[in-house]
Amino acid sequence: MLSVRFNRVAVATLAFASVLACVGPLAAQTRASANEEAKQAPFPSGRDLIGLTVSGSYLAARHASVDRDATAAAAFYRAALRSDPKNNELLDRAFIASLADGDIDEAVKLADRILTIDKNNRVARLVAGVRSLKQKQYAVAQQNINQSIRGPITDLVATLLSGWANYGAGNTQAAISGIDKLAGPEWYPIFKDLHAGMILELANKQKDAGVRFERAYKLDDSALRVSDAYARWLSRNKDSAAALAVYEGFDKKLARHPLVLEGIRETKAGKKLSPLAENPQQGAAEALYGIGASLTRRGGEDLALVYLQLALYLNPNHSLALLSLADLYESVKKPAMAIKIYERVPANSPLKRNAQIQLATDLDAVDRGDDGIKILKGVVAEDPKDIEAIMALGNIERSRKKFADCAATYTQGIDAQSSTDKPNWVFYYFRGICNERSKQWARAEADLKKALDLQPEQPHVLNYLGYSWIDQGINLDDGMKMIRRAVEQRPDDGYIVDSLGWAYYRIADYDNAVKHLERAIDLKPEDPTINDHLGDAYWRVGRTLEAKFQWAHARDLKPEPDELPKIEAKLRDGLPEDTSNAAAAEKKKEDGKGG
């Protein structure tokens, strides 16, 4: 049971999640729980859709929407719409779902239908405008985009897109004038100056472009696209030293960003770097990406999804937009959808390596860990000192219980760390887990102690080492103190509180075991191991009926396969007579083996 809970706790150390609201009209639907299934629901086949009634398709679409499966939702809404083509609500929902799914060609068709019914539908106007912009119908694009305005964010998007349409139509002055006239929140100017600079640059007004880029850079020299655009302009219009200074300044703030490293390499090689956008379509895509990515970071995932999909419609190979969209899907626990996006990142993109690492992690999340391991081994083979890739590889190997492999991988990570940097305690902690699971306790203990030396009082390490000692009946006092210190730091961590309760159980202090295990159940009611532990503690204090209830609950919560027979045996036979773990531990101490 020790190894089961420790693998779970180690995985939980780095876990995080957030929940995405549905897009547009879908927002009114029931929100999915934070414990959504990690796998994407199967996409409906044509056979699935044939013969469904309108109500059947609608209910299936609603279910898919609640599960954040835009692909299935769009298919089912469109199926319902085909059966009831005059239903405006179905039309609107099919449009929004198609847009969220990134099927812009289908969304455009539905937008045209919506606009014949409601000429003021702003989202349909935006989509129609982006379609026209892509087709170089700039006057039509402006008409539609200008009618999509509503609020600070949409005002800014519409103004920037209109500016790019004006430039595409050959009217640079109108493009810049429109952007400059826009007034709004304090975060407007950086977008306005960046895009004005990009438009002026393509119009060969290089001096004016430089003024705008420099102004945007002074507003925020930590903005990646601003720094990149400015450095690129400097490489062509000033000198490589000035461009290099911008890139190196950014690298000091956010080290080793792939696009910045590429910029540094090319600048040092004396290259004159191309503009960030080379045509109106790429410029408009950059506007949609920039605002979409900002919204993703600020909790506006619903609108961000629309903007990122439209950006990719205009520029399908925009690597940053692809990574932002995939990251959005990951944040709502949809790794299968993220996988499809990561696979679209061009092979020649400097961000391909980042995409491969995240792709491998998502493959593991959908039970394709071996595919993920293969990808990461390829990444590490290309750069044996890629710490991030090595960590990701070790984590997947550990989750797949390849403990000898993950110990070797974490060792490679430790060896790859620069002698000038402080060693990363996480590598030692995770290698310690792999060694413990491989029954190499001496090595595991050394790693856990080293992790604590590097990160004193780290609660997960305290928990792991302290419990390991108690489970083996050694260093009982020190082990209990460590777990208590871990609980003091993480009083609401059900796994760590469970460790304290189970430690009391191991030393036969069953009353305290019950007390803390009940608290752990309050914190993590659906964890099979904690329920199993509480059942054991109840049995030892004579609460046998409650014990069987907890064991039955643990069985129903899908425990680890090797734990299920043990739980079933306890349900059938109860626990054997107490042979006194405490007495055995004391005997070890008296023999000089503990403490």
Report whether pLDDT(308) > 90.
yes
Under the banding of pLDDT at 50, 70 and 90, the label for residue 52 is: low
Q: What is the pLDDT of residue 303?
A: 86
CA contacts within 13 A on the Cβ side of 151? 5
Q: Is residue 542 part of a domain?
A: yes
3-class SS at 236? helix
The structure tokens listed for 242 are 């000035």
Percent of the chain clearing pLDDT 90 (strictly above): 77
**Tens-digit pLDDT profile for residues 407-451:** 999 999 999 998 777 889 999 999 999 999 999 999 999 999 999
Under the banding of pLDDT at 50, 70 and 90, the label for residue 361 is: very high
Q: What is the pLDDT of residue 6?
A: 36
CA dist 50 and 71 (Å) reads: 17
* Orientation of helix 510-523 relative to helix 494-506, angle to 10°: 160
Instruction: Return the CATH number at 562.
Output: 1.25.40.10
- The mean-pLDDT minimum among 10-24, 80-94, 211-225 falls in 10-24
Mean pLDDT of 277-292: 97
Q: Is residue 255 part of a domain?
A: no
Report whether pLDDT(49) > 80.
no
3-class SS at 527? coil
Report whether pLDDT(51) > 70.
no
Mean pLDDT of 243-260: 96
Of the candidates 34, 29, 70, the one whose C-alpha atom is nearest the C-alpha of residue 337 is 70
How buried is 535 (Cβ within 10 angstroms: 0-12 exposed, 13-18 middle, 19+ buried)?
buried
Q: What is the pLDDT of residue 579?
A: 64
Q: How many domains does the chain have?
A: 1
Q: Is residue 575 part of a domain?
A: yes
**Tens-digit pLDDT profile for residues 465-489:** 999 999 899 999 999 999 999 999 9
**Tens-digit pLDDT profile for residues 182-203:** 998 999 999 999 999 999 999 9
pTM of the predicted model, to two decimals? 0.83
CA contacts within 13 A on the Cβ side of 35? 3
Report whether pLDDT(33) > 80.
no
The structure tokens listed for 130 are 């982006």
Q: Is residue 521 part of a domain?
A: yes
**Tens-digit pLDDT profile for residues 124-175:** 999 999 999 999 999 999 999 998 877 788 899 999 999 999 999 999 999 9
Mean pLDDT of 517-533: 97
Q: Is residue 536 part of a domain?
A: yes
Q: What is the mean pLDDT of the chain?
A: 88
Q: Is residue 355 part of a domain?
A: no
- The mean-pLDDT minimum among 76-85, 345-354, 490-499 falls in 76-85
Determine contact, residues 342/322, Cβ cutoff 8 Å: yes
- Domain of residue 504, residue span: 496-595
Q: Is residue 592 part of a domain?
A: yes
Mean pLDDT of 356-366: 97
Report whether pLDDT(382) > 80.
yes
Q: Is residue 531 part of a domain?
A: yes
The structure tokens listed for 349 are 């993109």
